[in-house]
Amino acid sequence: MKRPPWPEFLLLLALAGLVALSCSLGASHISPLRLFESPLARQIVIEIRLPRTVLALLVGASLGLSGAVLQALLRNPLADPGVLGISATSSLGAVLVFYFGFHFVVAGGIAGSLAAVLILILLAGRHAGTLTLLLAGVALSSFAVALTSLALNLAPSPLAAYEILFWLLGSVADRSWPQVAMVAPFILGGWAVLATTVRGLDALTLGEDVAHSLGVDLRRLRWAAVAGTALCVGGSVSAAGAIGFVGLVVPHMMRALVGHGSARLLPACALAGAVLLLAADIAVRLLPLGTDLKLGVTTALVGAPFFLAQILKMRERQ
Amino acid sequence: MKSRRAKFLAAALLLLLASAAAAEPRRIVSANLCADRLVAALADPDKVVSLSYHAADPALSTILERAARLPLNHGDAEEIAALHPDLVVFGQYTGGAAVNMLQGLGIPVHILPVPRDLAETRSAIRDLAARLGVPERGENLVREIDDGLARFSRDHKPANGRPRAIIYSAGGWTYGAHSIDDDILRKVGAVNISTLAGIDGIGNLSLEQMVALQPQLIVVETIGNQPSLETQLLQHPALLSGGAKRLDMPMRLWQCQDAALVEAARRISEALP
Amino acid sequence: MSRLQWDQVSLIKQGRSILDQVSMSVASGEMIGLVGPNGAGKTALLRLAVGLERPDQGRILLDGEPLNRLDARQRARRLAFLPQQAEAAWPISVEDAVGLGRLPHGDRNPEAVAEALAAVDMAEHGDRQLTRLSGGERALVLLARALAVRAGLLLLDEPTASLDPAHQLQVMEVLRRRAEAGDAVVVVLHDLALAARCCDRLLVLHQGRLAAEGSGAAILDDPLLRQVFRITVERGHVDGKPVFLPSSWVA
């Protein structure tokens, strides 16, 4: 039963449209159509709007992709970098590096991500049920948020304490090309590593023993998933803060449209994540609320009800 | 005879009371940065008992040596009351509950307002000087500021000939009409494009909006260089994309309404095209 | 020709001896029943062959080659394993589930999938979701997944557990047909009568050791049944074939 590729096609169309829209929107109301006549318009579109757009795509794709991989690896439909506390810990790492004067923020973000996954494995064990895993995620998340708040209060800059909303809810506003360039190699590297898990993840559907008997190296699979997630989520959080729910919602949506096969599902989730986050960023810019609404608010407004619906569905199944 | 002596005694008593009431404070506590600086400039040093802890902050203070020799307070009522002051100076927005508490204890409090233009600056200085019992020194300071600013005033050229300037601070904060910063920009002959953009008092402009207004000079307020997301905004490559010149203005030069403003005006004047 | 051989294999876990110098082998065209009471080590024996455990002593030979010299993919192509409790994490379709059996070969091969489904009589159910099937239907699909590997060597751990009699017989029939077609089949069973009827040879494991080996009729005598399985049975004949029923348990 082969499903035709119309979901991916539509997503690509949506992506192109949203990119164009994103480059046209801005507080100065300058149209990108003036790109060629006005150096000012060129500057604004290329230096201010475009890095923001590209970052939204990179982060959204990373979240969608890592959500799909985590759900398949942990065989748990509620897995997501946010729910499991990976994003929050990544934030903590980034904050510790950034505010205390070191420039390589992305190192902090990735270290935080990696630490989170290792701690989760330690807390929940390899054969953890849903409850244990989610509780471990809650514990990790709460702890990371508390430490982040403390770190921001202790930071040398007096402005730091007010910036916690960025780290907790995320934003791509006014991000510049140097910042995007700092994280892009790690994000792309993470994608490459996650791509190697495709075969193994499919085999895991029927359990670890069957997967092993089908020739899958489970340890290598787990490490690839861990490393790939750490790289792309860590990189994303370093530049845009912790944005939740994208990794939770996107795999469910795409599974219904393209099926469970990882070879098709993973790229589709990356694509859908990019589209979703860019749409959320555009929504943030269109809403006439004046001050900078954080990106994570819109994803939470969509994602949290979805999360609750999933829980209810699981209860019914029981 | 009796009535004349009585009148004389009454007059003497009144004079005594009046002079007691108008007596210069001898134990002055300042609990606000700008108040610190003005008090240090106006009052006799031996009458100043304590300054706020901001006076020791090199990013904000112009009176570091004074601060090194005095106990520093955090604006806490208990802490201040223990110093037995006869006058406490607070800022307009920084007093809080401490003001009421100290007044309740019978301790005189003077509130230093945040001026919205140079005229209010002058009256704030005069009022404080009067309260400190040194009105002549207040006048001297006002004259020093006015003379200093006048040196950098340019002739008011027609509006479209004046250079376009903006003050852009960490996080995109800027100052429009009815602010000291606006006054100074106008005095040195620039057009404050934040005012043109409709900002009144303190406001926020996104990077894109700021760039689109095409300033020729961007005055960036700096407050030390500890990293934060808001200061990171000021390093965005697009900031100077319109060909604007950047002037880094240390916060301490224009945080407060005292003689440091003259130095701020000088720097802006020199940086203007 | 011997497909799989356990050579003096021992396994110790947490200080307990699970298997003690067990030697056995299975050849092409043979169906072997591995029986024994709970905890005898039957599952462990299979897991060793799949590489899920490492023997503390002895070795395992797959087509004459030591198992630890083969890489995972080579082993996966030559040996199909059906563990005791396989569940599906996702509502995967029947066809996709069976298709997973082609992973070691890296191809989709719809013909192999169709053939496997046909062998278990589930050919028309390709589009249904695995999680919506009945227990019996699911067991058949999972068996088809193992068949799709076309390894020629099948190791099954209690494939008839919690199945109704019809599905139990159906599963055994499929395995019998595979053996007749030339596959080597090792199946762990609790149902002694079923094992005796369907398998060419029985291996009886008791406390990690091989207690008896031979055809069901020959070795399942009363003393063995009492000593190893702690039961007494009633015997009879149906269609000329011997049958027996457990009648009471012995302390």
Over residues A9-57, the pLDDT tens digits come to 999 999 999 999 999 888 777 777 777 777 888 888 888 899 999 999 9
Among residues C88, C26, C110, the alpha carbon closest in space to that of A260 is found at C88
Percent of chain A with pLDDT over 70: 95
CB C233 within 8 A of CB C247: yes
Number of Cβ atoms within 10 Å of the Cβ of B140: 15
At B5, is the pLDDT very low, low, confident or very high (cuts 50, 70, 90)?
confident
Residue from C24, C165, C162 nearest C84 by CA: C162
C157 and C58 share one domain: yes
Q: How confident is the model at residue B229 (pLDDT cuts 50, 70, 90)?
A: confident
Residues C115, C206: one domain? no
C123 inside 8 A of chain A by CB: no
Same domain, C66 and C114: no
Write out the residue range of the structural domain in which residue C235 sits: 2-79+151-249
Q: What is the pLDDT of residues A235-265, one digit of tens each?
A: 999 999 999 899 999 999 999 899 888 989 9
Q: Rounded distance, CA C216 to CA C201, Å?
A: 7
Residues C34 and C157 in one domain: yes
- Given CB atoms, is A31 within the 8 Å cutoff of chain B? no
Distances (CA, A) of A113 to A86, A108, A128, A227: 5, 9, 20, 9
C69/C130 same-domain check: no
Of the CA atoms within 13 Å of residue A240, those in its CB half-sphere come to 33
Looking at C150, C174, C201, the residue that finishes a domain is C150
Boundary (domain end) residue, out of C98, C117, C150: C150
Chain B window 206-235: which residues touch A at a Cβ cutoff of 8 Å? 206-209, 211-212, 214, 223-224, 226-231, 233, 235
Residue B159 pLDDT > 60, yes or no?
A: no
Confidence of residue A270 (pLDDT cuts 50, 70, 90): very high
Whether the per-residue pLDDT at A222 is higher than 90: the answer is no
pLDDT at residue C136, rounded to an integer:
87
Q: In what order do the strands lie in the sheet with B109-112?
A: B72-73, B48-52, B28-30, B87-91, B109-112
C122 and C66 within one domain: no
Q: Do chains C and B touch (3 or more CB pairs under 8 A)?
A: no
- The predicted structure's pLDDT at residue A33: 75
Interface test with A, best of C90, C128, C188 (most A CBs within 10 A): C90
Chain B positions touching A176 (Cβ under 8 A) are 235-238
Whether residues A44 and B211 touch (CB distance < 8 A) is answered with yes
What's the confidence (pLDDT) of residue C11? 94
Q: How many percent of chain A have pLDDT more than 90?
A: 51
Domain shared by C45 and C19, yes or no: yes
Residue numbers of A between 56 and 115 with CB closer than 8 Å to C: 72, 75-76
| Cβ contact, residue pair C100, A212, below 8 Å | no
* Overall average pLDDT of the B29-56 stretch: 90
Q: Are residues C132 and C225 in the same domain?
A: no
Q: pLDDT digit string (tens) for B263-272? A: 888 898 888 8
- At residue B165 the predicted structure's pLDDT band, cuts being 50, 70 and 90, is very high
* Structural domains for chain A: 58-310 (1.10.3470.10)
**Do A and B count as touching (3 or more CB pairs closer than 8 A)?**
yes
Rounded Cα distance, B228 and A193, in Å = 32
Which residues lie across from B173 on neighbouring strands? B169, B204
pLDDT at B158: 54
Percentage of chain C surpassing pLDDT 90?
Answer: 59
**For residue B22, pLDDT beyond 60:** no
Is a pLDDT exceeding 70 seen at residue A289? no
B150-271 CATH pick, 3.40.50.970, 3.40.50.150, 3.40.50.1980, 3.30.530.20? 3.40.50.1980
- Strand extents, DSSP E, C63-146: 65-66, 80-82
Does A4 score more than 90 pLDDT? no
**Poorest-confidence range of A135-139, B1-5, B176-180?**
B1-5
* CB of B148 less than 8 A from some CB of A: no
CATH 3.40.50.1980 in chain B: give the residue spans.
Answer: 24-112, 150-271
Q: How high is the pLDDT of residue C99? A: 92
d(CA A273, CA A61): 5
Name every chain A residue with its beta carbon within 8 A of the beta carbon of B231: 157, 159
Q: CB-based contact (8 Å) between C4 and chain A?
A: no
With a cut of 50, list the residues of chain C below it in pLDDT: none
Strands B72-73, B109-112: pairing kind? unpaired
CA triplet A191, A196, A199: central angle to 5 degrees? Answer: 130
Q: Which segment, B41-45, B150-154, B255-259, is predicted with the most confidence on average?
A: B41-45
- Regarding pTM above 0.95, the answer is no
State both tokens at B29. 């506590």
Cβ neighbours for A137, distance < 8 A, ≥ 6 positions apart: A83, A84, A85, A120
ipTM for the complex shown:
0.91
Beta strands of C63-175 (E only): which ranges? 65-66, 80-82, 153-157
Domain boundary among C98, C118, C150: C150
Is the predicted pLDDT of residue A285 greater than 90, yes or no?
no
pLDDT tens digits for A68-82?
999 998 888 888 998
**Within an 8 Å CB–CB cutoff, is residue C52 touching chain A?**
yes
List the single residue in C with minimal CA-CA distance to A206. C88
Chains within contact range of chain C (3+ C-beta pairs < 8 Å): A
Count of the separate structural domains present in chain C = 2
Residue B204: Cβ within 10 Å count? 15
CATH, domain range B24-112:
3.40.50.1980
Residue A231 parent element (H or E): helix A218-240
Q: Which residue has the higher pLDDT, A109 or B250?
A: A109
pLDDT tens readout for residues C60-103: 999 999 998 998 999 999 999 999 887 787 888 899 899 999 99
Chain A to chain C Cβ contacts (< 8 Å): 78
- CA A221 – CA A200 distance, rounded (Å): 6
Calculate mean pLDDT across residues B203-225. Answer: 86
C228 in the same domain as C201 = yes
**Chain A touched by C55 (CB under 8 Å):** no
Number of neighbouring beta carbons within 10 Å of residue C57: 13
Cβ A160–B223 below 8 Å, yes or no? Answer: no
Distance in Å, alpha carbon of A276 to nearest chain B alpha carbon: 24
Using DSSP's 3-state secondary structure scheme, residue C66 falls into: strand
Same domain? For C124 and C188 the reply is: no
- Look at residue A2 in the predicted model and tell me its pLDDT: 64
CB-based contact C103 A199, cutoff 8 Å: yes
The CATH number linked to C164 is 3.40.50.300
Amino acid at site C122: M
Is it the case that residue B156 has pLDDT exceeding 60?
Answer: no
Q: Three-state secondary structure along B151-183?
A: HHCCCCCCHHHCCEEEEEEHHHEEECECCHHHH
**What mean pLDDT is reported for chain A?**
89
Q: H/E element holding C34?
A: strand C31-35
For residue C238, the model assigns a pLDDT of 82
In this structure, the strands spanning C57-62 and C2-13 are antiparallel
Q: What are phi and psi of B163, to 5 degrees?
A: -70, 145
Residues C63 and C165 in one domain: yes
Residue type, A234: G
Whether chain C has a CB inside 8 Å of the CB on A212: the answer is: yes
Question: For residue A126, what pLDDT is reported?
Answer: 66
- Tell me what pLDDT residue C218 has: 81
Q: In this predicted structure, what is the pLDDT of residue B160?
A: 61
**C159 and C48 share one domain:** yes
CA atoms within 13 A on the CB side of A227: 13
- Residue in B with minimal Cα distance to A177: B237
Q: What does the block give as tokens for C48?
A: 């060793």
Q: Are the beta carbons of B241 and A98 separated by less than 8 Å?
A: no
Q: Calculate the CA A103 to chain-centre distance.
A: 22
* Mean pLDDT, residues A222-228 taken together: 90
| Helix runs in chain B, H state only | 2-21, 33-42, 64-69, 77-81, 97-104, 118-132, 135-152, 180-187, 193-196, 207-212, 229-233, 251-254, 260-271
pLDDT for the residue numbered C243: 83
| Residue B14 confidence class, pLDDT cut points 50, 70, 90 | low
